[in-house]
A and B are shown apart, each in its own frame.
Chain A
């Protein structure tokens, strides 16, 4: 089975600060990969490189076997095949919930307005927010906004869904509803890469957990192994701090 998304030796620096020092990662179809690691370990940067929001300094990112970091590739066409959800939701505040969801299907994928609308309403119905479709994002709770953002990303039928610490900005009582949706999406077979601090969730939903440390994947494997019985001392150290904080 070939990987949907493959990262090969990716290096990324911001000025003097080298964030990624040669990251390798392969994500097979219908799999969920969780990226864990301390802040500054490069999780978000890796996702931004994979979604072409940052240009890599070295290495390659392959989507369905195609090198998307090649400068000759049409980056807009590549981004169309990806879904990204951000920590701070990033819904468009001047558009209604429905317009947020239908924007890309209509403008980027050329679907008809009525078809996009129908599909968007069906997706919103599924997450119980169909009645909010005419509202502007600032009338919604953080959890509702983030679920709309997930639906917006799904509306383009992406090959991979990239989730960048999507629960980190949420009040604790709203985390559950967002994770429930992610689990549902994963169960339906979506390929997902998620940077997360929710170790319990990673343990239950992820097929693979990757521990990033100082810009490299230090350890990766099934969640039970990486989170339960890590090999690397730095992984142990990181996890013990998480356990101390009561997050696992």
Chain B
């Protein structure tokens, strides 16, 4: 309320209102931006699936035991360190501009594909750590029970450890999904005409910033359902933990 009064009574407000909150520009920009958002949703869905698969694979490699697997463990660790430490925007530039510059055959040049690759590289490193925490949260006695039944290491991971691990970290994963939802907007730096890029083009034509606000609000609307699902899943996990605390 106070903030609203302060903002609307500020000397620059009428000017800001027309350049950022123009209904007319908002209506005009809505459809192009929505079309752009469809690109973001595609990146989100395709990238999301790749992130889960790659992240899970990295996590399994990082939790392998025994000296024979040391090279795999070290490689996976190096990957995670690299892409978790590298700012996403730099990864985007390197993949988006560096890869096509090699002019190798078979390397895609579409900013859509390259942007998705860069996002998958970064997010799979984060998600690998979430999965790893999940795998390590499964009590060693579960492994002992699985092995004592004669299950191989692979069967033990697939049937006993991973289902429990994934269940334990689902709230954290959904949280990362919400973060991914807005970071898919960064592929616009490579020139893919997504919602952000569409807004940028419209702003460039009119010098009115309302399209950015429209794009921002659309991203928020996209994130709200996932955020609520994440809340619900966390609440359910909490309840289950409490009811299970007597075990």
Q: How far is the CA of A153 from the CA of B150 in the complex (A)?
A: 11
Check A77 against B145 for contact (C-beta < 8 Å). Answer: no
Check A53 against B155 for contact (C-beta < 8 Å). Answer: no
**A216 adjacent to chain B (CB < 8 Å):** no
Provided the pairs A138-B244, A138-B247 are in contact, do residues A79 and B141 lie with their beta carbons within 8 angstroms?
no
Give chain B interface residues in 117-162, CB to chain A under 8 Å.
Answer: 141-142, 144-152, 155, 159-160
Provided the pairs A79-B147, A79-B150 are in contact, do residues A94 and B141 lie with their beta carbons within 8 angstroms?
no
Majority SS of interface residues in chain B? helix
Chain A neighbourhood of B150, CB < 8 A: 76-77, 79-81, 104, 108-109, 156
Provided the pairs A93-B164, A94-B164 are in contact, do residues A107 and B144 lie with their beta carbons within 8 angstroms?
no
Q: How far is the CA of A79 from the CA of B143 in the complex (A)?
A: 13
Chain A neighbourhood of B155, CB < 8 A: 107-108
Q: How far is the CA of A90 from the CA of B156 in the complex (A)?
A: 14
Shortest Cβ distance from residue B123 to the other chain A in the assembled complex, whole angstroms = 26
Check B164 against A108 for contact (C-beta < 8 Å). Answer: no
Q: Which residue of B lies closest to A149 (CB)?
A: B145
Shortest Cβ distance from residue B208 to the other chain A in the assembled complex, whole angstroms = 54
**A51 adjacent to chain B (CB < 8 Å):** yes
Q: How far is the CA of A86 from the CA of B149 in the complex (A)?
A: 12
Chain A neighbourhood of B141, CB < 8 A: 86, 88, 90
Chain A neighbourhood of B142, CB < 8 A: 90, 92
Q: Which residue of B lies closest to A53 (CB)?
A: B144
**A84 adjacent to chain B (CB < 8 Å):** yes
Check B151 against A90 for contact (C-beta < 8 Å). Answer: no
Give chain A interface residues in 23-82, CB to chain B under 8 Å.
Answer: 48, 51, 53, 76-77, 79-82
Provided the pairs A90-B142, A92-B145, A138-B244 are in contact, do residues A107 and B151 lie with their beta carbons within 8 angstroms?
yes
Check A51 against B148 for contact (C-beta < 8 Å). Answer: yes
Chain B neighbourhood of A94, CB < 8 A: 163-164, 167
Shortest Cβ distance from residue B158 to the other chain A in the assembled complex, whole angstroms = 10
Max chain A Cβ within 10 angstroms of own Cβ: one of B146, B148, B152, B243: B148
Give chain A interface residues in 87-101, CB to chain B under 8 Å.
Answer: 88, 90-94
Provided the pairs A93-B164, A94-B163, A94-B164 are in contact, do residues A76 and B144 lie with their beta carbons within 8 angstroms?
no
Max chain B Cβ within 10 angstroms of own Cβ: one of A94, A138, A153: A94
Q: How far is the CA of A77 from the CA of B150 in the complex (A)?
A: 7
Check B159 against A107 for contact (C-beta < 8 Å). Answer: yes
Chain B neighbourhood of A248, CB < 8 A: none
Q: How far is the CA of A109 from the CA of B147 in the complex (A)?
A: 14
Q: How far is the CA of A109 from the CA of B144 in the complex (A)?
A: 18
Q: Which residue of A lies closest to B247 (CB)?
A: A138
Given A53-B144, A94-B164, A103-B149, 6 other A-B residues pairs in contact with their CB atoms under 8 A: A79-B150, A80-B149, A90-B144, A107-B155, A138-B247, A153-B148
**What are 19 of the A-B contact pairs (CB < 8 Å)?**
A51-B148, A53-B147, A76-B147, A77-B150, A79-B150, A81-B150, A84-B144, A86-B141, A86-B144, A90-B141, A90-B145, A92-B164, A93-B164, A94-B167, A103-B151, A103-B159, A107-B151, A108-B150, A108-B151
Chain A residues with a Cβ under 8 A of chain B: 48, 51, 53, 76-77, 79-84, 86, 88, 90-94, 103-104, 107-109, 138, 152-153, 156
Chain B residues with a Cβ under 8 A of chain A: 141-142, 144-152, 155, 159-160, 163-164, 167, 243-244, 247
